[in-house]
Amino acid sequence: MRGGEYPAMPRLLIIIGTVCLLAVVVTWFSLGADRGWSKTLVPVAKVDPVTELEFTEYEKRFVPGLDFLIAGSAGSLFLVALGLFLGKFTRP
Amino acid sequence: MKHLLLTASAVALVLPAHAAPLTFDFKDPKGVNNVVFQLDAPLESINGTASGVSGTVTLDPEKPGEAKGKIVVATDSLVVPNPMMKDHMLGEKWLNAAKHPEISFAITGISDIKKEGDKGEAKVTGTFTLNGVSKDLTVDARVNYLPGKLAERSPDKTPGDLLVIRSKFEIKRSDFGIKPGEATDKVADDIAISLSIAGSAPKE
């Protein structure tokens, strides 16, 4: 198969799927590679200077977990698979 | 005679500081008071906090064994970092925060008091209420009485005392009717609780 003969739409799906897969993996790694569930609040430990009590404050921040990695990868791979499937049956 | 009157006045000024029981309010506007809870199940570990602490404890620093009071935690102040997990936790099937808005511990007795200056340790017995179920519980507590320290914590420098209480204990969710025997691979039956709270007793 020569590259130029591959139909435009399936090729676009494969490219989008691959880019999404890379984006999902890079995002997951760069934001901490958390192996738990995704979080929208991040606990920050603090100490009250007078009572010396330790307490937790929450920062509103998204930390992607394994659910993000798995769902994102599955969606991306679906696009790639769909592109390959359509390419196989719509090639002239 | 003048000397005697001066001495009596001085004693009267100094003694009342420790003569009467003080009522400490645990509603903390600074949001420091907190409860940490941890569940470690084979498949999932859950860590969260609760900050909606209120209640009062009446304590005579000279007679700590006679302390009385109740600490209350608002059920809807429980937080876990995952939003879906939080919704499930507070929902009808688990803690049912709408029906049972408070988790509380009412002190009924104090024993085994070890006092060293303004610090102390004791076993505190009380009635622990969770999910609408009450059980008697005895927990270890560390107490630190900080006379005159309230001014350092309040923006308007209100004079008064602070009482800091720390306690760690474990409960079983099955004892309080929270889905007993269900989903124990993901939500442990044992719940480790760590209480860190400070109450204030302003002086007139």
Q: Is the pLDDT of residue B73 over 80?
A: yes
B149 in contact with chain A, both atoms CB, cutoff 8 A: yes
**A9-68 pLDDT tens trace:** 999 999 999 999 999 999 999 999 999 899 998 989 999 999 999 998 889 999 999 999
Closest Cα in chain A to B198:
A51
Q: Is the pLDDT of residue B81 over 50?
A: yes
Mean pLDDT score of chain B: 90
**What pTM, to 2 d.p., does this model score?**
0.77
Measure Cα distances from A63 to B39, B88, B108 in Å.
21, 20, 44
User: Around Cβ B78, how many Cβ atoms within 10 Å?
Assistant: 20
Specify whether the CB–CB gap between B147 and B154 falls below 8 A: no
Count contacts between A and B (CB, < 8 Å): 61
Mean pLDDT (whole number) for B10-39: 77
Higher pLDDT, B176 or B81: B176
- Residue B102: partners with Cβ closer than 8 Å, 6 or more residues away: B72, B73, B74, B75, B129
Q: Rg of the Cα trace of chain A? A: 21
pLDDT band at B57 (very low <50, low <70, confident <90, very high): very high
- State the pairing for strand pair B22-25/A54-63: unpaired
Q: At what angle do helices A66-90 and A8-30 cross, to 10 degrees?
A: 170
Q: Which of A37, A43, A50 sits opposite B85 (nearest CB)?
A: A37
- What per-residue confidence (pLDDT) applies to A32? 92
CB contact under 8 A, B81 and A56: no
Specify whether the CB–CB gap between B167 and B124 falls below 8 A: yes
Give the gap in angstroms from C-alpha A33 to the nearest C-alpha of chain B. 16
